[in-house]
Structure 1
């Protein structure tokens, strides 16, 4: 810059949009010093100081602290370092705000006592390790004495319960409710009794065996492929659709011991639509169910995002169309 003029503080304020008091403050704090001070004490700024003041003003609007700005102007940190650190702090602040919003929404919906407010705040702020311990304690208690294979138990647990780094409000609210339930002795007892009653029937040993878990997982893998194909926009009657329909037909034929045929594939196409209807009904019932284990599953689905994903990308109708497309083909 070739401009060597000096500007009075009022002119600097007009150029930068900062107040006169703010400019004086930055000078007193050693952030941006004036180029000169007259005998009468008037501060004068050159174009370089004005540019620095505009930069400082922008950083302050982005909530950067004075110490961070000072270190940046002194060359002790880079602008990228400052932005990264500030972004991390903002992310932490955003998480705390979401957590508080979820707690306040829960309080607003319920007649909440002071002790419960403290508990809900703690639950919302739990670390991943703390959530894991709570989840493990719950499952260790309710599965004690349950005569199912370890593989089936793992299928019911469905891995770790992970709250996303940036959870939606509904996910935080679901976690607060679920964490409260997991620590409730009465809820744990009800779930344990329900599971033991469900898996004490004569046929339960077969349905919960290691072999059946393998069957469930293979069928689940085929549905995942159908879901991925539907997401990608692949037509149900495409080569990929026919391949997936063939896999599903072979899988179901293995379970039912029914030979593959056009009639069987047409039947499966209709059956899949029936499964879709039952699934939709189960989602509706789960949302309002008073059954403890059903409510547990519903909350977990909200937390891990599978409830929303299932509602948006259920592959049953697509798979039914694919089965109809290959119904007349014996070998596909």
Structure 2
């Protein structure tokens, strides 16, 4: 049985207060034929029942979502459902959100860089690029960087494969990273710096071996899995002489020597161990030489490219731990070849 309040009528002031609207707004919606009063009282004043007030509340909510009166009229007349109307408006709000996020990324980048109007126009174009345009931008970069570069076949193609994929609903941080990356890869100076870094890094014969396809396949495939196993053991505080470490490092040594078609011998083991032991010093020396010469280093060239790609792809923070080269060298030194 319906309660008495279901049949109670309220004057326009009460209807306005209950629905969250002003009296003039309630009067406007009545005159527009959207929500007419339930009846007029003896004095000719507009009176509203609970159902009418509920519809006024709905109209207020839809207007706050920027729904136009024509759409509201179709809903109230039964021409559409509330679910369909809200779904449509959700899509509108989400598109507005993406637009605002892109604008925020542009503004934040401009503020950090002290940008000009021309830069603002450029950044707007960068965040508005289609997927195809972004792909072409990255392809153009690697085509120029890799042109006649003296590195083993397939190496530049592998580098090209590590590319940004901006999601359909990127965060502001991802948009900012894309703005920086797109600006960098279009800069002739940055292209030249990356090219110089790759050329200088892989010029030595021993370094060229690291860029060959078999070695790269190994380091990004089974070699990566073995290295991760070693890193896990190191994180767990295991000795380089533990059974797990010795089994893993033996497989690693056997696989590396097999790449050059040679067996794992004591001499090969010693060379590998000695090489790993020297890596930290070599890396420090390279950093010092780059700083002294003012030349492009990894962090300013290819490293910066990879860091921005990781930020755009949402993989930042998934990098491996720093490699404990000396610990691995100690593990290698203990291996007894068959």
Q: What's the TM-score, normalizing by structure 1?
A: 0.72
Measure, in 1, the Cα distance between the counterparts of 2:96 and 2:228: 36
**Corresponding residue for residue 256 of structure 2:** 255
Q: In the TM superposition, what is the alpha-carbon distance from 1:243 to its structure 2 partner?
A: 7.9
**Corresponding residue for residue 23 of structure 1:** 26
Are the structure 2 counterparts of residues 5 and 102 from structure 1 closer, same or farther at C-alpha, using a change threshold of 3 Å? same
- Decide which of 60, 66, 73 is 1:70's aligned counterpart: 73
- Decide which of 108, 122, 129 is 1:105's aligned counterpart: 108
Q: In the TM superposition, what is the alpha-carbon distance from 1:69 to its structure 2 partner?
A: 3.0
**Corresponding residue for residue 144 of structure 2:** 141
Are the structure 2 counterparts of residues 162 and 30 from structure 1 closer, same or farther at C-alpha, using a change threshold of 3 Å? farther
- Decide which of 289, 306, 330 is 1:297's aligned counterpart: 306
Measure, in 1, the Cα distance between the counterparts of 2:211 and 2:13: 81
Contact 2:230 2:248 in 1 (8 A): no
**Corresponding residue for residue 307 of structure 1:** 316
Contact 1:147 1:205 in 2 (8 A): no
Measure, in 1, the Cα distance between the counterparts of 2:227 and 2:28: 65
Are the structure 2 counterparts of residues 244 and 292 from structure 1 closer, same or farther at C-alpha, using a change threshold of 3 Å? same
Measure, in 2, the Cα distance between the counterparts of 1:246 and 1:90: 57
Contact 2:229 2:248 in 1 (8 A): no
Contact 1:253 1:259 in 2 (8 A): no
- Decide which of 105, 117, 120 is 2:123's aligned counterpart: 120
Q: In the TM superposition, what is the alpha-carbon distance from 1:220 to its structure 2 partner?
A: 2.6
Q: Secondary structure at the match of 1:165?
A: coil
Measure, in 2, the Cα distance between the counterparts of 1:31 and 1:69: 8
User: What RMSD in Å do the two structures reach over aligned CA positions?
Assistant: 4.2
Contact 1:151 1:213 in 2 (8 A): no
**Corresponding residue for residue 220 of structure 1:** 224
Are the structure 2 counterparts of residues 129 and 305 from structure 1 closer, same or farther at C-alpha, using a change threshold of 3 Å? same
Contiguous gaps of at least 5 residues in structure 1:
none
Measure, in 1, the Cα distance between the counterparts of 2:139 and 2:250: 38
Aligned residues: 301
